[in-house]
């Protein structure tokens, strides 16, 4: 009986010793892997960091985790923490999970927003327009354009938009006026599909923006195919542009050297051939 008891006791002790040995082995695995190498702690992206996220937001939002790796395996600009300078900057592009967070990923938050470069103090506004209105596709990011608006006239109030959209199914007088003499184009098409036009849409028959003006069913790309054009504008210009896009039809004009574009009364149906 005593021998059986001592045998069981010895077996239990050996099992405990084995478990402790396994735990110590696992804990020392990282140390053995780094043996003979200088180890550094670096920040790794834990969850997607959208472009435009500031260092402060990254720090407070749990976007990263710290890991220990051999120094020889990391770039020289890998970050171990976010210093005071980086807290005020923002990442200029999306940072994917499991990638190292690098100092070069940060830039001024006033320069980058959502991956789109916007001039300081300006707003980015996108409007949809048909391909001919986009100068047949010659408008490209970085070019300067003038923006014209064609609209239905409010009766008895001069060349003032009626605000009911643009349509050709009634007898309203229509006019075209210069809306913005010069704005910079930031992007063409939606994000990820620069320059791409949407599928052609049938011309509207009711009072909707752009319906019935300049539509065509001829060969080639349809005049009703639409393109998103994003421009840099001030707040006042943004308000004018958004309202015009909702109540009329926009047209762009590329500005050549020495082009003299000035606001004015524009023309209407009655003065078109005067």
Measure Cα distances from 138 to 133, 177, 217, 233, 255 in Å: 10, 22, 22, 20, 12
What pLDDT, on the 0 to 100 scale, is given for residue 90?
Answer: 87
Residue stretches of the chain with pLDDT short of 70: 1-36, 109-115, 154-171, 191-224
Q: What tokens does 216 get? A: 């065509």
| CA distance linking residue 262 with residue 274, whole number of Å | 20
What count of other Cβ atoms lies within 10 Å of the Cβ of residue 9?
10
Cα(first)–Cα(last) distance of the chain, in Å?
A: 124
What pLDDT, on the 0 to 100 scale, is given for residue 140?
Answer: 86
What pLDDT, on the 0 to 100 scale, is given for residue 197?
Answer: 35
What pLDDT, on the 0 to 100 scale, is given for residue 58?
Answer: 93
What pLDDT, on the 0 to 100 scale, is given for residue 266?
Answer: 87
Instruction: Look at strands 112-113 and 106-107 and give their pairing.
Output: unpaired
Angle formed at CA 215 by CA 157 and CA 179, multiple of 5 degrees: 40
Give 253-265 pLDDT, tens digit per residue: 998 888 888 888 8
| CA distance linking residue 30 with residue 70, whole number of Å | 10
| CA distance linking residue 50 with residue 58, whole number of Å | 10
Q: Of the candidates 113, 132, 138, which has an alpha carbon nearest to the alpha carbon of residue 123?
A: 113
What pLDDT, on the 0 to 100 scale, is given for residue 115?
Answer: 65
| CA distance linking residue 128 with residue 248, whole number of Å | 12
| 3-class SS letters over the chain | CHHHHHHHHHHHHHHHHHHHHHHHHHHCHHHHHCCCCCEEEEEEECCCECCCCEHHHHHHCCCEEEEEEEHHHCCCCECCCCCHHHHCCEECCCECCCCECEHHHEECCCCEECCEECCCCCEEEEEEEEHHHHHHHCCCCCCEEEEEEEEEECCCCCCCECCCCCCCCCCCCEEEEEEEEEEEEEEECCCCCCCCCCCCCCCCCCCCCCCCCCCCCCCCCCCCCEEEEEEEECHHHHHHHHHHHHHCEEEEEECCCCCCCCCCCCEECCCCCC
Q: What tokens does 165 get? A: 């959209």
| CA distance linking residue 263 with residue 250, whole number of Å | 15
169, 205 Cβ separation under 8 angstroms: yes
Domains annotated on the chain, with CATH: 36-113 (3.90.1210.10), 118-268 (no CATH)
């Amino acid at each position: 009986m005593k021998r059986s008891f001592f045998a069981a006791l010895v077996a239990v002790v050996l099992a405990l010793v084995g478990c402790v040995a396994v735990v110590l082995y696992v804990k020392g695995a990282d140390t053995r892997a780094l043996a003979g190498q200088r180890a550094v702690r670096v920040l790794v992206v834990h969850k997607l960091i959208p472009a435009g996220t500031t260092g402060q937001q990254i720090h407070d939002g749990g976007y990263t985790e710290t890991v220990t790796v051999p120094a020889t395996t990391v770039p020289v600009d890998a970050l171990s923490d976010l210093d005071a300078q980086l807290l005020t900057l923002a990442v200029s592009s999306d940072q994917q999970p499991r990638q190292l967070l690098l100092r070069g990923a940060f830039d001024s938050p006033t320069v980058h927003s959502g991956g789109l470069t916007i001039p300081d103090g300006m707003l980015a506004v996108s409007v949809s327009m048909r391909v001919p209105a986009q100068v047949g596709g010659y408008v490209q990011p970085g070019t300067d354009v003038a923006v014209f608006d064609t609209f239905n006239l409010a009766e008895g109030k001069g060349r003032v938009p009626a605000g009911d959209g643009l349509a050709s199914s009634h007898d309203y007088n229509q006019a075209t006026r210069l809306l913005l003499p010069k704005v910079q184009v930031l992007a063409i098409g939606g994000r990820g599909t620069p320059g791409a036009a949407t599928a052609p849409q049938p011309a509207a028959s009711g009072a909707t923006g752009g319906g019935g003006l300049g539509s065509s069913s001829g060969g080639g790309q349809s005049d009703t195919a639409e393109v998103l054009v994003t421009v840099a504008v001030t707040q006042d210009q943004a308000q004018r542009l958004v309202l015009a896009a909702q109540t009329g039809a926009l047209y762009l004009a590329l500005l050549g050297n020495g082009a003299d574009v000035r606001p004015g009364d524009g023309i209407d149906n009655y003065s078109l051939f005067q």
